[in-house]
Amino acid sequence: MFAYLIVIILIVGVILAIRTVSKRSAAHRAAHDARARAMAQATIAAMKKQHAAKTAPAAPIESAAPVREERECPFCAEPILKKARVCKHCGRDVEPML
């Protein structure tokens, strides 16, 4: 009689252990699927962005930044703006060209 009780307790313990393992496995699987879905969505978004950038019409050349009017510093020969009063490289005073 005592042996039957031990066997029943062991069987119940095994059943509970199997249930616990299957629940944890399902939770891990769900978390993995959620991460995989998020990574797939991020990849698809990046690919759509790349495709949009490739198929977008090129910007007109006129919209580029204006060209800086430069000249050489008479003392150090580095390029400075034409309207500069002080050379940013050597620090000397220069006459601005208007």
Query: What pLDDT, on a 0 to 100 scale, did the predictor assign at position 7?
Result: 94
Between CA 49 and CA 57, with CA 54 as vertex, the angle to 5 degrees is 115
Asked whether 96 and 83 are in contact (CB, 8 A), the reply is: yes
Q: Does the pTM of the predicted model rise above 0.75?
A: no
The answer to whether the CB of 75 falls within 8 A of the CB of 86 is no
Instruction: List, for residues 17-58, the tens digit of each pLDDT value.
Output: 999 999 999 999 999 999 999 999 999 999 999 998 888 776
Asked if residue 45 lies in contact with residue 60, where contact means CB atoms within 8 angstroms, the answer is no
Task: Kindly provide the residue ranges of all beta strands, DSSP E only, lying in the chain, ordered along the sequence.
Answer: 70-72, 79-81
- The pLDDT assigned to 59 comes to 62
